[in-house]
Amino acid sequence: MAPSGPAGAQPSPAEPLSRSIFRKFLLMLCSLLTSLYVFYCLAERCQPGSGPVAGVPGRGVPAGPRELAAWPAGAQRKRLLQLRQRRRRGRPGPGDSGDQDEQSPGLAAAPGGSGAGSSVVEAQSGTLALLLDEGSKQLPQAIIIGVKKGGTRALLEFLRVHPDVRAVGAEPHFFDRSYHKGLAWYRDLMPKTLEGQITMEKTPSYFVTREAPARISAMSKDTKLIVVVRDPVTRAISDYTQTLSKRPDIPSFESLTFRNRSAGLIDTSWSAIQIGLYAKHLEPWLRHFPLGQMLFVSGERLVSDPAGELRRVQDFLGLKRIITDKHFYFNQTKGFPCLKKAEGSGKPHCLGKTKGRAHPAIAREVLRQLRDFYRPFNRKFYQMTGRDFGWDG
């Protein structure tokens, strides 16, 4: 017979049951935690060692491609801009390979021109490609073809604020001076781009080069063309002012303007006058490109309302409207809009010291005769483009 008393006491039925449930619960919890940890490591987010976690936004620790891909979009954009700035300065930062990006002359290189795009930040593959210095050189899908002293430099630098635009800063002059070097040479001048980014260049002399329309069409009939135009009288004076700054001994503006001063005959062989015959120069372009593939930008509005003109350009290029009023401020001294931040720099940037250069005084009678001369050409240009630029008011 079994002994009685405490030594032989039997546990109550509820006691072993509760212990069994508790043990099973602990086992399940441990299994769940272990599975989560294994999954976490398979996703390559756990870091060996006991040091600080690599690539944490705002900690000053360099991020590699894997870490950056897990960051929020805002942090990714900030880091990409830092990487881009360091590459352009030629000073590799922590985690950078030390290879400089393609040189982009121009605005201390202008914002957003070359480098990561909004699509890069939105897509992890684009982010990784940028960090690994991938991408490829493409022939330009859009070209600013003219006109000289119309505002082409300003437009290009403003456009390079857009993260999905990459552009050559210097003028390639391929379709007018270097066509014999071939498309491979031309493509090699271009910066690398990722999918969704646009490659651009600008050479204002293309607009007045007879062979340029056929040559660009032979490269691609889908090329989008941008023409920046300005009051031809003001443009001619600006053109002369630029030449005068380089050759102070040239004849006066008035003597170059007229073939016969007493008869009031304008000398259309002088390039400063000839470039302003926009309707004449546009005709060969329309034989190779439909009007809808060309955008005509007002040089005057590029000064008075840069954001408004850039909105039209972004729509024409199929880009998101990223460039807005917040990117500009007006410099009263120079009389031109400036960028609040330049590419590769957090500082404000105005165009070069030659912008806003004082024009020589021109006699009113000369200006009147020039306006009378250009008026029929201007009106024809308005009809051809469907836009009245208001130069005859």
Q: Would you say 355 is a known binding-site residue?
A: yes
Quick check: pTM over 0.75?
Answer: no
Which of 309, 150, 144 shows the shortest CA–CA distance to 229? 150
Q: Would you say 364 is a known binding-site residue?
A: no
pLDDT per residue, tens digit, the chain (393 aa), is: 444 444 444 545 555 567 778 778 888 887 888 877 766 666 544 444 434 334 444 444 444 444 444 455 555 555 555 555 555 444 333 333 333 333 333 333 333 333 333 333 333 444 445 444 578 999 999 999 999 999 999 999 999 999 999 999 899 999 999 999 999 999 999 999 999 999 999 999 999 999 999 999 999 999 999 999 999 999 999 999 999 999 999 999 999 999 998 888 999 999 999 999 999 999 999 999 999 999 999 999 999 999 999 999 999 999 999 999 898 877 766 667 888 865 555 666 676 655 667 889 999 999 999 999 999 999 999 999 999 999 986
Q: What is the DSSP letter of 142?
A: E
Whether residue 177 lies inside any domain: the answer is yes
Instruction: Give pLDDT, residue 351.
Output: 67
Residue 50's CB is within 10 A of a number of other CB atoms, namely: 5
Q: Taking the chain, what is the end-to-end CA distance rounded to the nearest angstrom?
A: 125
Q: Would you say 137 is a known binding-site residue?
A: no
Q: Cβ contacts of residue 81 below 8 Å, gap of 6+?
A: 115, 116
DSSP 80-133: HHHHHHHHHHT---TT---PPPPP--SSSS-TTSSS--HHHHH-HHHHHHHHTT
CA gap 170, 161 in Å, rounded: 17
Which of 176, 356, 151, 360 shows the shortest CA–CA distance to 256? 360
Total domains in the fold of the chain:
1
Catalytic residues, which ones? 149
Q: Would you say 75 is a known binding-site residue?
A: no
Q: Where are the alpha helices (DSSP H) in the chain?
A: 14-42, 65-69, 73-89, 118-122, 124-131, 152-159, 183-188, 212-219, 232-246, 253-257, 271-274, 278-286, 299-304, 306-317, 364-385
Q: Are 62 and 54 in contact (CB under 8 A)?
A: yes
Whether residue 24 lies inside any domain: the answer is no
CATH number of the domain that residue 143 is part of? 3.40.50.300
Q: Would you say 149 is a known binding-site residue?
A: yes
Instruction: Give pLDDT, residue 284.
Output: 98
Q: Would you say 152 is a known binding-site residue?
A: yes
Q: Would you say 230 is a known binding-site residue?
A: yes
Which residue type sits at 332? Answer: Q
The rounded radius of gyration (Å) of the Cα atoms in the chain is 32
Report CA-CA distances (Å) from 68 to 63, 85, 91, 126, 361.
6, 17, 21, 11, 58
Instruction: Give pLDDT, residue 22.
Output: 77
Q: Is 164 left (phi over 0), alpha (psi -120 to 50) or beta?
A: alpha
Instruction: Give pLDDT, residue 37.
Output: 73
What is the domain range of residue 269?
136-385
Which of 187, 202, 157 shows the shortest CA–CA distance to 344? 157
Whether residue 109 lies inside any domain: the answer is no
Instruction: Give pLDDT, residue 40.
Output: 65
Q: Would you say 23 is a known binding-site residue?
A: no
Q: Are 279 and 270 in contact (CB under 8 A)?
A: no
Whether residue 115 lies inside any domain: the answer is no
Instruction: Give pLDDT, residue 340.
Output: 81
